[in-house]
Structure 1
Amino acid sequence: MLTVELKFIDYPLSQEVVSLQEIIELVTMLFKQKHLEGIKSGKISLAFRKWKKLTVSEGNLIKTSVGNIKIVSVEEIALQNISDEEAEKAGFKNASSLVQLLEEQKEGAIYRIGVVFDSEDPRIELRERFQFEEGELEGLKSELEILDKYSKIGKWTTKTLQVIRENPKMKAADLAVKAKKEKEWLKLNVRKLKSLGLTISHEPGYTLSPRGEAYMDSIEK
């Protein structure tokens, strides 16, 4: 079984995504929050995607905002063969509404993907840990310095945390304007901060986690 750890690299938005980890991360972002919550509750057990190239496989474990989701099956399916029952399992009212959505998307094959909630996300516990143990704060600073060092735009981590702190739950598009960044760049890079337990995603926007607030307090002293 492949466990997909949400590691990231910094790349221009126009550059082709070349690693499986990056592809799956982008796939994860296509799940609406209500669908993720449906998967966690067990009400949703299928997802349908239209791709030129298959980007997930059976056994993949994907980290999301609600926890780890496991891919249990992947099958190509003809659009006309999607049933009302399957559409309902994917969180849609009926097959017609799902088919209409898929037809609006660019060319590609249709895939029926079986999904199931696997386990809680360890980042949830991490983000609540705001009292740093010996050496932990220094380790966190080192990880953020690495993100800054290998970024093509220079230091960005503290600036991004600060703009989130000053604009809690602001829509990503508006927050990107505040941060003077492209929206997709912002969303991808905030997830890097989230993987360190520093931010929390909302509908809409983001806030700093207790850990993120503690970190910002520490560097302001």
Structure 2
Amino acid sequence: MLIRRITLDAIAAGTVTAVFRRWDRPRVRPGGTQRTPVGVLEFTAVEPVDPTALTERDAHAAGFADLPALLAAQSGHGQLFRIRLRVAGPDPRVELRSRARLNADERAELTRRLDRLDRASRTGPWTATVLDLIAGNPGTRAPDLAARLGRETLPFKRDVRKLKELGLTESLQVGYRLSPRGEAYLRG
């Protein structure tokens, strides 16, 4: 679920405790989580609501000044859902990618996982190439990096997210860079 940064910051501060979405069916479930720039969000409730039953309290819980502002933002098609949420903790990838030293077991596990990603790829091995490209071009736009490899942007970005899951890269405002863990891995 996409949540604007200003709303994420308000959730982290505790001033927003709910968001509203129009969907044909719920896209998140109670107990589910989502990693975000402010930490891991937990969805504590997902409930269909009748827009005519919303209150000023609902508007304030969602970060709106008043009920008319909330209602104006919820126009559209589909069932309206109230999603209650909270920050459940930090994103575990943040701590993982900050590790600047790898022991032999960690290095072997990373190598095993990268090899598995390479074997599963329809286009052949890519992990070392992408890590080297990001290392040599930090802060470069994803479309520019993808073009250097003769790849389409969206599949390239999906691959970089796989590296991010392993704590090897981090997203910047524009582009990517290797994390300390990624740098340690490449140093060998």
Q: TM-score, normalised by structure 2?
A: 0.81
The aligned counterpart of 1:122 is: 92
Q: Distance in 1 between matches of 2:7 and 2:152?
A: 26
- Counterpart residue type for residue 10 of structure 2: G
CA shift, 1:114, in A, is 0.3
The aligned counterpart of 2:177 is: 207
For the Cα contact (< 8 Å) 1:170–1:204, is it kept in 2?
Answer: yes
Q: In 2 relative to 1, CA 74–151 (structure 1 residues): closer, same or farther, beyond 3 Å?
A: same
For the Cα contact (< 8 Å) 2:26–2:46, is it kept in 1?
Answer: no
The aligned counterpart of 2:155 is: 185
Which residue of 150, 168, 172 corresponds with 2:120?
A: 150
Task: Map 1:24-103 onto structure 2 (within 5 A).
Answer: 27=1, 30-83=2-55, 85-92=57-64, 94-95=66-67, 98-103=70-75
What secondary structure is seen at the aligned counterpart in 1 of 2:115?
A: helix
Runs of 4+ in 1 over 6 A off after TM superposition: none
Q: Distance in 1 between matches of 2:183 and 2:109?
A: 16
Q: Distance in 2 between matches of 1:127 and 1:79?
A: 43
For the Cα contact (< 8 Å) 1:65–1:201, is it kept in 2?
Answer: no
Q: Distance in 1 between matches of 2:100 and 2:42?
A: 30
- Counterpart residue type for residue 87 of structure 2: F
Q: Distance in 2 between matches of 1:93 and 1:176?
A: 42
Q: Which runs of 5+ in 2 are unaligned?
A: none
Size of the alignment, in residue pairs? Answer: 188
The aligned counterpart of 2:82 is: 112
User: % of aligned pairs identical?
Assistant: 36
User: What is the RMSD computed on CA atoms of the aligned residues?
Assistant: 2.7
What secondary structure is seen at the aligned counterpart in 2 of 1:103?
A: coil
Q: In 2 relative to 1, CA 93–169 (structure 1 residues): closer, same or farther, beyond 3 Å?
A: farther
CA shift, 1:77, in A, is 2.0
Q: Which runs of 5+ in 1 are unaligned?
A: 1-26
Q: Distance in 1 between matches of 2:95 and 2:56?
A: 38
Q: Distance in 2 between matches of 1:91 and 1:173?
A: 34
Q: TM-score, normalised by structure 1?
A: 0.70
Q: Distance in 1 between matches of 2:172 and 2:69?
A: 26
Q: In 2 relative to 1, CA 173–54 (structure 1 residues): closer, same or farther, beyond 3 Å?
A: farther
Q: Which has the larger radius of gyration?
A: 2
Q: In 2 relative to 1, CA 148–112 (structure 1 residues): closer, same or farther, beyond 3 Å?
A: same
| Deviation string, structure 1 residues 86-130 (Cα, Å, up to 9, x no partner) | 3443344555555555436xx432211000011122221111112
Q: In 2 relative to 1, CA 55–156 (structure 1 residues): closer, same or farther, beyond 3 Å?
A: same
What secondary structure is seen at the aligned counterpart in 1 of 2:80?
A: strand
Q: In 2 relative to 1, CA 177–62 (structure 1 residues): closer, same or farther, beyond 3 Å?
A: same
